[in-house]
Structure 1
């Protein structure tokens, strides 16, 4: 409709501002703001959402450290080694039903301040703080993640 170009310009500026914060964090700390991606199950189960999540975080200047498993303890160990303070679960709805809560709770126990889940389920699994999904407010999620990670505004 009329003025249809305006929101895109604003969106591009929003992402640019997020990446500027990431650049400043890199300059100050030697690393980009980092998020741990917990890909649950095999590639066929998690690749679509792992790719979606990695692209979303990258758009906001957030680097991702991926790990693939179904074992909560393995994810906890990989999370601790990653240096990240936030995490995102990526898998299929079927595998989330069985694994999302134990993996999220293991990540929280390992020090994750916030655990996201790529997708939208009928109920929020224990340990999961919020969903990220296509059509969601990516800029708001990325802004709050950078705040949480400690990237200066």
Structure 2
């Protein structure tokens, strides 16, 4: 809407996030729980905590409950942890160095375990194609299209 005296239209910066959270609220009312994302932490806490915290905050901004077991996972243990979480999607959280070693195997294991979408916290750089081939659907990082990523996550979890 344009103000009566002319000037710039008023834009509510948080409107897109409010719409995402309204979808989550409706899901909560219908099912008794919020849509969930499993945070697949690779390596020790010192390595994964920063990106796990970033991913957790981003997901919560869209009404998605992050499920973070403080125990790190790997390709052998991630399927059981993902299934136990009750989440529909997953997000890999670690350092670029550990991603290079483990992300492809862990992403493939998450997809095999039924993850409808696999995110990776961080910029993929030259590994983008390899990660995507392994099952990573999107990358979350400062400056990414957060609303687009969150909306897509809710879509794949069938949150109306």
Q: What number of residue pairs does the alignment pair up?
A: 148
Do the aligned partners of 2:35 and 2:88 also contact (CA within 8 Å) in 1? no
Equivalent of 2:143 in 132, 135, 149: 135
Find the counterpart in structure 1 of residue 4 from structure 2.
Answer: none
Find the counterpart in structure 1 of residue 42 from structure 2.
Answer: 40
How far has the Cα of 1:6 moved from its partner? 5.4
Instruction: Output the TM-score relative to the length of structure 1.
Output: 0.90
Instruction: Output the TM-score relative to the length of structure 2.
Output: 0.87
- Residues 21-59 of structure 1 show CA distances to partners (whole Å, capped at 9, x for unaligned) of 101000000110111110111111011100000000000
- Structure in which a larger fraction of residues adopt strand: 1
Question: Does structure 1 residue 90 correspond to structure 2 residue 98?
Answer: no
Equivalent of 2:79 in 72, 76, 80: 76
CA radius of gyration, larger in? 2
How far has the Cα of 1:97 moved from its partner? 0.5
CA RMSD of aligned residues (A): 1.6
**Structure 2 segments unaligned to the other structure (5+ residues):** 1-6
Find the counterpart in structure 2 of residue 22 from structure 1.
Answer: 24
